[in-house]
Amino acid sequence: MKTEFETLLVTRPREHVGLITMNRPEVMNATNTRMGQEMMELFESLMLDAGDLRCLVLTGAGSKAFCAGGDLKERNGMSNETWQRQHVLFEKKQRALMGCPIPVIAAVNGVAYGGGCELAAACDFIYASETARFALTEVTLGIMPGAGGTQNLPRAVGTRRGLEIILTGRPFSAEDGEKWGFVNRVLAPDRLIPEALDTAERIATNAPVSIRQAKQSVLRGVGLSIWDGLSFEIEAYNRMVGTEDRIEGVKAFNEKRKPKFKGR
């Protein structure tokens, strides 16, 4: 995985775990064209080859913001054509994130408005600081959510709650997000990254093929009927029967030791 970027910091704080930090704190980590390109490049590379990475944590630099959405200073005065070209880039970035084969945990450390809220919603689940605030503010700017917000958020909180959030543009707290099923855990600011990394590390100790197949089964299955979902699940399950990790897992259990999974 490439680690040198202009707008992102990419580190490996734990074995098999990557930490991606959006690094434009001077503008509350707002997404400009460069950041969109770099995030797209990063997540598309992971779709092709994640190497020995088994889980990721996505956060923002500083204590004020996860991501304040699109960089409206860059967008000020953009022609319609330039705006649409940039948005295609943002769409591809978002689809690459959602298509990432390994789990991605959002560690929301502050404001997550507009595209920032959509970024968090596109991750597999969310840990949030007590200071985090979420909003889909697009309708207050003459546009609408266009990077998965109208799809991912209602799937998490329900259609009626989702409509209220999207149509009002009103912010909501981390505590409300947890109550509504959007946020998994609310943590003290100094515990956010350590707890997210602990969970990522726990995921990374499990069998890599199992994690990938289970993630795909859940995310694909929720859009299917229960019967089609069951069919997809068993196809995903059967791919693991012949793996070395399945044999190692059973052997380690019987030998009363921790398994040594290799992703094969």
Which of the following is catalytic: 91, 118, 233, 248? 118
Question: 244 catalytic, yes or no?
Answer: no
Q: What angle do CA 216, 218, 222 make, to 5 degrees?
A: 120
> What are the tokens at 260?
């040594």
DSSP-derived pairing of the beta strands 133-135 and 125-129: unpaired
Which of the following is catalytic: 138, 175, 195, 244? 138
Residue pair 100/43 in contact (Cβ under 8 Å)? The answer is yes
Question: 26 catalytic, yes or no?
Answer: no
Beta bridge partners of 19: 11, 57
Active site residues: 118, 138
